[in-house]
């Protein structure tokens, strides 16, 4: 008899449910987020388990890695795919775990990609760099907006980078306005320092990768952006078509349509 397990993962605890091929519950219990506790609870069912489904959340690394190391077949469920079958689902934590197991039993798990653990640290570091860049751009726009509001003139990014203290004092004679501008400028500079430090670390630890040279032939793409694209993509073979990859990159519009007679 094939069994199926679902784990509803939270920040400090997890609910584990095991069902048989007829959907009958064999086990359901909440555990602290300790891999040994969870493995021990799965041990009596291990030989018959078809898969263990874990919903993809921000903190799945330790759980998926621990289950795989113990020899379990793990499916990482993609949350939007789970919502498609919300009609099967009840609204509490305990039944969520059972719902995941039922999706596996019915062959309806919309799987997320389990990114190779040896690549995750570099990918996450590049994501951190990207967040720093986005935050620094937000600060730059804020300073440009303040400059225009107080002086009636625009401030280009290049002019901003060349600003000297005397120019800032002339633009913002009010000490309170100037203090606000200077605080944003200091924050921007700190973020720039972190971006540069992160890039140095990435370049120190990255290795030559297939596809990087080709990506760098595109205008504006160097090692850092090329590596970011490669590590966000993973193995390109996991995409069956160009359209699927474009959708993954959020380059395709998404509209939910309802058939006649159905309502949201």
Q: Are 98 and 168 spatial neighbours (Cβ–Cβ below 8 Å)?
A: no
N-term to C-term CA, the chain: 39
Give the containing element (helix H, strand E) for 149: helix 117-151
Q: Mind giving me the DSSP string for 99-128? A: HHHHHHHHT---BPP---HHHHHHHHHHHH
Q: How confident is the model at residue 263 (pLDDT cuts 50, 70, 90)?
A: very low
Give the least confident one: 44-53, 64-73, 249-258. Answer: 249-258
Give the least confident one: 28-37, 48-57, 241-250. Answer: 241-250
Which residues, other chains included, contact 190 with Cβ-Cβ below 8 Å and sequence gap of 6+? none
Which residues, other chains included, contact 30 with Cβ-Cβ below 8 Å and sequence gap of 6+? 13, 14, 15, 16, 93, 94
Instruction: Please report the pLDDT score of residue 248 as a whole number.
Output: 86
Write out pLDDT tens, residues 168-187. Answer: 999 999 999 999 999 999 99
Write out pLDDT tens, residues 222-233. Answer: 999 999 999 999
Write out pLDDT tens, residues 111-152. Answer: 999 999 999 999 999 999 999 999 999 999 999 999 999 999
Does the pLDDT at position 48 exceed 50? yes
Mean pLDDT calculated for residue range 194-221: 92
**Cα separations in angstroms, 155 against 12, 148, 192, 214:** 47, 7, 19, 36
Q: Mind giving me the DSSP string for 162-192? A: T--HHHHHHH--SHHHHHHHHHHHHHHHHHH
Does the pLDDT at position 26 exceed 60? yes
Domain ranges of the chain: 3-106, 117-248
Q: What percent of the chain has pLDDT over 90?
A: 77
Q: Distance (Å, rounded) from C-alpha 40 to C-alpha 44?
A: 8
> pTM to 2 decimals?
0.83
Domain 3-106 falls under CATH 3.30.420.40 = yes
Q: Distance (Å, rounded) from C-alpha 101 to C-alpha 77?
A: 11
């Amino acid at each position: 008899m094939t069994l199926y397990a679902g784990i509803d993962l939270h920040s400090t605890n997890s609910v584990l449910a095991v069902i048989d091929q007829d959907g009958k519950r064999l086990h359901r219990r909440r555990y602290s987020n300790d891999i040994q506790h969870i493995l021990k609870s799965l041990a009596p069912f291990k030989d018959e388990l078809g898969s263990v489904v874990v919903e993809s959340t921000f903190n799945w690394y330790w759980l998926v890695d621990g289950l795989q190391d113990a020899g379990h077949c793990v499916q990482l469920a993609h949350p939007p795919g789970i919502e498609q079958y919300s009609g099967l689902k009840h609204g509490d934590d305990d039944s969520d775990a059972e719902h995941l197991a039922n999706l596996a039993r019915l062959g309806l798990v919309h799987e997320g990609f389990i990114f190779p653990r040896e690549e995750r640290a570099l990918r996450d570091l590049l994501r951190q760099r990207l967040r720093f860049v986005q935050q620094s751009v937000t600060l730059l726009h804020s300073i440009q907006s303040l400059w225009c509001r107080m002086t009636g003139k625009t401030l280009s990014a290049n002019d901003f980078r060349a600003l000297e203290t005397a120019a800032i004092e002339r633009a913002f004679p009010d000490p309170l306005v100037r203090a606000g501008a200077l605080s944003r400028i200091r924050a921007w500079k700190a973020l720039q320092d972190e971006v540069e430090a992160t890039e140095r670390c990435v370049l120190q630890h990255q290795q030559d990768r297939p596809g990087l040279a080709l990506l760098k032939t595109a205008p504006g793409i160097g090692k850092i952006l090329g590596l970011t694209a490669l590590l966000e993509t993973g193995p390109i073979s996991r995409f069956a078509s160009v359209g699927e990859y474009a959708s993954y990159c959020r380059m395709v519009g998404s509209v939910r349509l309802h058939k006649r007679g159905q309502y949201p």
